[in-house]
Amino acid sequence: MSLVIAKNCISFIILSCVFFLQATAIEEKNCFLTTKYEVRITNYLPIWSNIPMKVHCASADDDLGYHKLYVSNGFSWNFCDNIWGTTLFFCHFWWNSRLGPKEKKFDAFTEKMSSRCTNGVCNWEARQNGIYFSGSGNPSSWQKMYDWDNITRV
């Protein structure tokens, strides 16, 4: 009987330590048993586009709010991937082009793309002809991922 109690006590102590370390890691943005990532978004729309691009990004757990990004300005956030590897952040961009208002909704981070994020950094750029991604930020590594969608007014 005392062996069962000892095993239960040890299990309780281990679980308590794991939960404490995870809670501490989240507060400090140091990840325990998972990987830390940073997503960076930059507005590289044409200089004549003096109206800021609007950005809204969120996950199921964290709404990062609405942001206005002027040309050459950026927005970024850090997070710890969850232990199930199912972390998902999505974004919605809006801007007014000379051809009318544009938008794009897309997944800014998924577990599937995490291996492409060098040193845990995922870079996104909004350009006149679409949305680009680079895991390294190296100029030769940028890939066009999405075209802008036209916003139709009803």
Q: If 0-12 CB within 10 Å is exposed, 13-18 middle and 19+ buried, where does residue 126 land? A: buried
Determine the pLDDT at residue 154: 56
What average pLDDT does the segment 37-61 reach?
93
Q: Which helix (H) or strand (E) holds 16?
A: helix 2-28
Cα angle 42-130-76, degrees, rounded to a multiple of 5 = 20
DSSP state of 142: -
Give the predicted TM-score (pTM) of the model: 0.77
Q: Say yes or no to pLDDT of 24 above 60.
A: no
Rounded to whole angstroms, what are the CA distances from 92 to 12, 88, 97?
43, 14, 16
- Measure the CA–CA gap between 119 and 121, rounded to whole angstroms: 6
**In the structure, what pLDDT confidence band is assigned to residue 19 with cuts at 50, 70 and 90?**
very low
Residue type, position 45, single letter: L
Q: Which helix (H) or strand (E) holds 104?
A: strand 100-109
- Measure the CA–CA gap between 49 and 95, rounded to whole angstroms: 8
Place of tokens 């199930």: 84
Condensed to tens digits (0 to 9), the pLDDT of residues 61-110 reads 999 999 999 999 999 999 999 888 899 999 999 998 888 899 999 999 99
What average pLDDT does the segment 21-38 reach?
67
CA of residue 47 relative to chain centroid, distance:
26
From 10-14, 94-98, 114-118, the region with the lowest mean pLDDT? 10-14
- Measure the CA–CA gap between 88 and 112, rounded to whole angstroms: 10
